[in-house]
Structure 1
Amino acid sequence: MPGRAEISALVRRHAVLETLAWDVASARRALRASRPDVAVFVTARACHPGLMGIASRDVLDFVDAMSRSYLDRARVTHTPVWKLGFRLLAWSHRGFEDQARKSRHGRVAAGRRDADLLDATWIPNVIEAPIPLHVGDPDHDMVFFGSLGYPPNIAAIRRLARLWPALRARRPGVSLLIAGATPPREVRRLVAANGWDLDEDYADVGAVCARARLAAIPLTHVAGIQTKVLEAAAAGLAQVISPMVLSGLTPDFPAMVARTDGDFVDSVTYLLEDAAERRRIADAARAHVIRRYSASAWAGPVRGLVGKPDGVLESKPPLPERLRVSVIIPCHNYGRYLAQSVESVLRQTRPADEIIIIDDGSNDETPQVVQRLRAAHPELVAERRVPARGTVATMNDGVGWSSGDAIVELSADDVLSDRFLELTERALLADPEADFAYTSMRCFGARDCWIQAPEWNPRALCQENYVHGTSMFRRSLHERLGGFRADFNRLGYEDWEFWLHALERGGHGLLVKDCWLNYRRHPQGSRNTRPSGTLLWVHLKLWWLHRGTVHLSDVTAWASRAVLRRRLARRRAT
């Protein structure tokens, strides 16, 4: 039976519910007897406050953000009891993860996005040696492999079954191999219903990969890093993956990323028909895994976590060579400006990896403009929603639909300078601790002027917003904060609240020079053009939401400047 200390740790979520399955007292005695220099607790399930501090150094290896993983399992399981159990475990792990972020102990995670969310060092699973390439003609077009009893894998197989009619229509005779142990009854039924092949007992990943032309990994409910993706790449197989899969890897991982069901069908069909492109992606992925996911590439970061001999310099984890940049363009009745906005993204010196246009219930010429743009630029992704849901919901949905590590949300009436993406990405790559990169603005339209943004100054940001909403921010920041607040949809200034929330959570921004946002001024103003009384209400609400960061003195300082500006404007008018 657990003692009072164990129950207290569970209630306060200093330990997770799974620790009830083992004897903390016995583990503590064994740990004290061995007197280790370093104790590595592999997953939260193996960690308990009663075991911390015995070794000279403690390291918590989360592996995955289990709170996310359990929530995903709750979404895909059909059994009510299992659904309730997974939600209870997610609650336990979420509290533990919040507590662990504040601790002084070392923290690591295997998934790149999980490491960002948990404020941990990213140390991925590694491939010890390249998987030998098998020579021969594949007998299947696609393969999906893994533990077939794992709920997210079952959900991925369901998705493949849903896409199968479209794939067969595009490529008659297409074939699929499902490989993995312990397939449940549902997987067997889907295999039989769709005419797939099932391999339940394979010992060699390389041999399984050699049986297919490409790997299809359509996971949508998953956390952490997918070892199957590294193994397929090491075996020399091209892959079509989902954005959730890419989130566990470096953003420059060589694979085709399919955001929607339609994208997945298009990508699979394209690779099956283009053997040269398939080979190019496969070769690039194999070289990437050997270079970036070998044990030697991560020896330095591990040494830094567990201690190092005197005189040995601690190595930092290898930084990504580039970010995957998504530009999201929400549009509501701005069809007359949309083409100019999109063209400014298309002519960037650093091309966007993804451009998503979201028509939020427009009743002007926006649908026709989007149709013309897509005809000229098939790489554009477009979504239309009726009825309109508003700016904040559209921006949050756009981030959810995108696959980028860095996000730029561009209003459909504004225009980027040509080097905007290049220089803001460069700033975030140079400072991995920065959460967003902002620029100055050039106003045009009803009023022409230049608004110079100051260097990063947290106190000044609490008094007035100088970070515009088109700043490049990391996806991990959006996830950490829970997105833009919906209750600012009518008020406006959701971007100011977002930056203050980031500041409250320890985030910071970077001023980027030599590029800017061209901000269109309208004669009738915009959402963020508000009377002083409304802006005072916004500022008071921001103070109330972030009282530990924004002070009442910040509100009064802004109000004093607003009164002074109004008096000066009246004098000029007279």
Structure 2
Amino acid sequence: MDKALSIIIACYNDIDVRKAVEAASFQTYVSKEIIVVDDGSNEATKEVIASVKDKIDILIEQKNSGQSIARNNGIKKATGNYILNWDSDDYFEPEFSEKAIPKFQEDEAIKIVTCKARRFDKKGTIDIFTPRGGKLEDFLFRNSALGSAMFKKTDWEACGGYEENLPILGFEDWEFYIQLLKSGGYAYVIPEILFHYQVRPDSTTAQIKSLKQEKYKHIILKHPEIYKANFVGLIDDLFKRIEQKDREQLKIYKTKEWKAGKFLLSPFRFLKVLKQNLVPKK
């Protein structure tokens, strides 16, 4: 029987998938199905998935192809009109879906439903994050919704799904939201903490941090017509990024460690200059 809501959990080498599946099963919205996409995980993860197979409606096993392809393959099998993407190491509060779906029914212009999030690690809560939400222009220079959010399958089909070809690992959600909102509509933010995001040093977000400017460049080049139409905003954002980088560099220069390193290296620099001056010129 078709369900109204399909929860897609893409997983790659993550034993925390057990918690994700269990949390998904606790969603109070009754008409739901849970689809797990095993993206070529190791045996330890496969054993964990098998231990909660009674809570999984559809299990897709594939060779490791990346998060975008895994999500798209899961959504293709979904029977629900509402799609909730769910990373294997995070979780939503049980009432999220029950609160999110009515928002789409109240306003047809809503394309994405997200919420406030608690970021945590092994030590506990780090902070509370509130996404900006809004229309396309609110997503051009930063992702204004959580990576795990709800949208309609019909809208996913209309915009072609998640990008599978561009090397934008970690920015799939941002680029997908731009695709969703190109035809209009907006992202609604439920003003409640209904999502819990785990910060891990080995996560995809941590791995691509040093490449974020390159990923941003790919998004701009994929949507040149949008960014040309918002040229002034693009230039303003690029200069803000440069200024922020300069401020971060200045902070490093002011640290005791940097000053101490500069002091310790100064004799070597002096000797290097002295040597250069003493060597006879040909």
TM-score bin (small chain): 0.7 to 0.9
Shift of 1:527: 4.2
SS of structure 2 residue aligned to 1:463: coil
Is structure 2 residue 161 aligned with structure 1 residue 517? Answer: no
1:425 and 1:558 map into 2 onto residues whose CA distance is 37
Q: Among 446, 451, 457, which residue is 2:129 paired with?
A: 451
Query: 1:445 deviation in Å?
Result: 1.4
- For residues 305-316 of structure 1, what are the structure 2 equivalents within 5 Å? none
Alpha-carbon deviations, 1:385-408, whole Å to 9, x = none? 2x2121111111111011110101
How far off is 1:565 after superposition?
6.2
Q: Which runs of 5+ in 2 are unaligned?
A: 257-282
Correspondences of 1:499-538 after superposition (within 5 Å): 499-527=177-205, 529-532=207-210, 534-538=211-215
1:421 alignment partner, one of 97, 102, 117 = 97
Q: Determine which structure has the larger strand proportion and give its number.
A: 2
- Whichever residue aligns with residue 118 of structure 2, its letter is R
RMSD after superposition: 2.5
* TM-score (normalised: structure 1): 0.40
> In the alignment, does 2:153 pair up with 1:471?
no
C-alpha displacement of 1:372 = 1.5
1: CA distance, partners of 2:247 / 2:101? 36
Higher relative contact order (CA 8 A, sep 6+): 2
Secondary structure of 1:548's counterpart equals helix
| One-letter amino acid matched to 2:174 | W
Q: Which moved more, 1:395-404 or 1:482-491?
A: 482-491
Offset, 1:459: 3.0
Which residue of structure 1 aligns with residue 279 of structure 2?
none
**In the alignment, is residue 549 of structure 1 matched against residue 218 of structure 2?**
no
Structure 1 residue identity aligned to 2:11? C
- Determine helix, strand or coil for the equivalent of 1:418: coil
Change (3 A) 1:569 1:399: farther
Q: Any conservation in 2 of the 1:427–1:512 contact (CA below 8 Å)?
A: no
Which amino acid is 1:502 matched to? L
Describe the shift of the 1:358–1:569 C-alpha distance in structure 2 as closer, same or farther (beyond 3 A): farther
Provide the C-alpha distance between the structure 1 equivalents of 2:179 and 2:39, rounded to a whole number of angstroms: 26
- Residues 120 and 196, structure 2, Cα contact 8 Å, conserved in 1: yes
Partner residue, 1:328: 8
Give the 5 Å matches for 1:401-412: 401-412=77-88
Instruction: Determine the C-alpha separation between the residues in 2 that align with 1:572 and 1:346.
Output: 51
* Cα separation, 2, equivalents of 1:569 and 1:492: 27
Contact 2:200 2:206 in 1 (8 A): no
Residue in 1 that maps onto 2:75: 399
Change (3 A) 1:364 1:413: farther
Instruction: Tell me the residue number matched to 1:462.
Output: 140
Q: Distance between the aligned counterparts of 1:333 and 1:498, measured in 2?
A: 24
Amino acid of the structure 2 residue aligned with 1:328? I
For 1:371 and 1:442, the matched residues in 2 are separated by: 29
1:411 Cα deviation after fit: 0.8
Distance in 2 (CA, whole Å) between partners of 1:538 and 1:555 is: 15
Q: Which residue of 2 aligns with 1:498?
A: 176
Are residues 569 and 496 of structure 1, via their aligned partners in 2, closer, same or farther at CA, if it must alter by over 3 Å? Answer: farther
SS at match of 2:52: helix
Deviations 1:12-32 (A, max 9, x none): xxxxxxxxxxxxxxxxxxxxx
- Alpha carbons of 1:404 and 1:468: their partners in 2 closer, same or farther (altered >3 Å)? same
d(CA) in 2 for partners of 1:520, 1:329: 15
Closer, same or farther: CA 367–565 of 1 in aligned 2, 3 Å: farther
8 A contact 1:442–1:450 mirrored in 2? yes
Larger radius of gyration: 1
Query: Match for residue 117 of structure 2?
Result: 441
Q: Sort the Cα spacing of 1:490 and 1:544 in 2 relative to 1 into closer, same or farther, 3 A.
A: closer
Give the distance between the partners of 2:236 and 2:188, measured in 1 at CA. Answer: 22
1:362 and 1:395 map into 2 onto residues whose CA distance is 15
TM-score by length of 2: 0.79
Helix, strand or coil at the partner of 1:448: strand
Counting only pairs closer than 5 Å after superposition, residues 15-414 of structure 1 correspond to structure 2 as 256-257=1-2, 324-335=4-15, 337-351=16-30, 353-375=32-54, 377=55, 380-385=57-62, 387-414=63-90
Aligned partner letter, 1:389? S
- For residues 121 and 193 of structure 2, what CA distance do their matches in structure 1 show? 19
Percent identity over the alignment is 23
In structure 2, distance between residues paired with 1:475 and 1:372: 29
Query: Compared with structure 1, are the counterparts of its residues 492 and 528 closer, same or farther at alpha carbon in structure 2 (3 Å cutoff)?
Result: farther
| Superposition deviation, residue 525 in structure 1 | 3.8
Q: Is this contact kept in 2: 1:326–1:354, CA < 8 A? A: yes
Secondary structure of the structure 2 residue equivalent to 1:486:
coil
Pairs within 5 Å for 1:481-496: 481-488=159-166, 491-496=169-174
Where 2:134 maps in the other structure, the secondary structure is coil
Amino acid at match of 1:441: A
State how far apart, in whole Å, the 1-side matches of 2:144 and 2:207 are. 15
Q: 1:432 to 1:490 in 2, by over 3 A?
A: closer
Shift of 1:351: 3.6
Instruction: Count how many residue pairs are aligned between Structure 1 and Structure 2.
Output: 249
Of 232, 245, 264, which residue of structure 2 is paired with 1:563? 245
In the alignment, the residues of structure 2 paired with residue 457 and residue 465 of structure 1 have an alpha-carbon distance, to the nearest angstrom, of 11
Distance of 1:562 and 1:383 partners within structure 2: 43
Displacement after TM superposition at 1:346 (Å): 1.6
Q: Give the unaligned 5+ runs of structure 1.
A: 1-255, 258-322
Per-residue CA distance 1:11-54 (angstroms, 9 max, x = gap):
xxxxxxxxxxxxxxxxxxxxxxxxxxxxxxxxxxxxxxxxxxxx
